[in-house]
Amino acid sequence: MADGKQNILIISDSLHDLPDAVRVLRESGHRLSFIHSLKRWQDITADEMPFPIAETDAIVMGRVMTVTEEALCLTPKLKVIALHTSGSDNVDMTAATQRGVLVTNVKGINAEQCADFALGLMLASVRNIVKGDKAIRTGKWVSETDSSTDIWRATLGLIGLGEIGRAVIRRAAAFDMRLLVHTRTPDENYARNYGIRYLSKDELLEQADIVVLTASLNPTTRHMMDESAFKRMKKTAHFINIARGELVDEQILYKALKEKWIAGAGIDVFETEPLFQSPLFDLANLVVTPHQAGLTESGKIGAAVRAAKNALAVLEGEIPKDSLNPQARREAV
């Protein structure tokens, strides 16, 4: 740009509402435009933006909108897509890389918040907290609800040992839980510190009282929790997912809960989001929440500010450590 200013498109209601992140972007001196995250790319009109969409240099966004190859064709000058989420499966990474567009995320920024929530779902599911709440509101006393089992000294099976997984481990240790982990990258020193046993996925599923899923979504992990996986679990076991909905075959999850292959589950993420109707919602042995594990005020603020700084770093010619495809610079035509 002749005046040195570049064009930043913010596609996120939540980021627009967070003054710290917006202040960081405004102080850069670049031009900003805000678009509602539920709009389709082809619906964005010229009168909504202070600059043409084709002149966009940076996009800061969450996971609600999908960035396809067609969308990238509309933004030929784009340099960076800065996500204020840890997931990036809503971006066509191959197309972005081929076009020289860096994609950044904020992986691990809300690990502590997500781990807190995982423990909350564990307690809610295993100790029948939601069921007890519903019972007393309908005139029933606790003795009429199902009895619950213990979390104290139960066997926890964790699938995935990233930053969220490690935060879950720290909390589980306080419950004196036996810790089993399945991960592609075992760390023996870490295991010794927490008394962790590394197992295959099948071994973990067979032994755990509570299975917590914190794995990343990729083509090899999609539907990793299928019929075979759920049938390996104990009938008394509980399943918790705070990772990605697509890691679980929801039709099989419904069957596993309905037919009592497992005792219960706590689910914060779904294959399709937002989800307003599902047979899952009719199950009494399932606790459901609307993808809110990482949504605390401090978590949202931290994620938004980090995404803003990632976008600005790329506009200044840097490759942030949060870059998911640093090779994009080399592959750009």
Cis peptide before 279, with omega less than 30 degrees from 0?
no
Which residue is listed with tokens 């679980």? 248
What is the Cα–Cα distance from 267 to 122, expressed in whole angstroms? 10
Reduced DSSP (H G I as helix, E B as strand, rest coil) percent helix, strand, coil of the chain, to 5: 40, 15, 45
97-139: pLDDT as tens digits: 999 999 999 988 999 999 999 999 999 999 999 999 999 999 9
pLDDT computed for residue 37 by the predictor: 66
pLDDT of residue 145: 55
State how beta strands 102-104 and 80-83 pair. parallel
Domain boundaries, the chain: 7-109+297-331, 111-288
Residues of the chain with pLDDT under 50: none
Give the pLDDT score at 65: 84
pLDDT the model gives residue 19: 87
pLDDT at 330: 72
Per-residue pLDDT tens digits for 31-81: 999 887 656 676 676 666 778 889 999 999 987 788 999 999 999 999 999
Give the span between the Cα atoms of 292 and 290, in whole angstroms: 6
Q: Which of 3.30.450.30, 3.40.50.1260, 3.40.50.720, 3.50.50.60 would CATH assign to domain 111-288?
A: 3.40.50.720
Active-site residue set = 244, 273, 291
CA atoms of 244 and 261, how far apart (whole Å): 22
Predicted pLDDT at 51: 87
Identify the pLDDT of residue 148: 80
User: From CA 272, how far away is CA 156, in angstroms rounded?
Assistant: 27
In the β-sheet with 58-61, what is the strand arrangement from edge to edge? 31-35, 7-11, 58-61, 80-83, 102-104
| Fold that domain 7-109+297-331 belongs to in CATH | Rossmann fold (3.40.50)
Domains 7-109+297-331 and 111-288 share a fold: yes
Q: Tell me 323's DSSP state.
A: B
State phi, psi for 181 to the nearest 5 degrees.
-135, 140
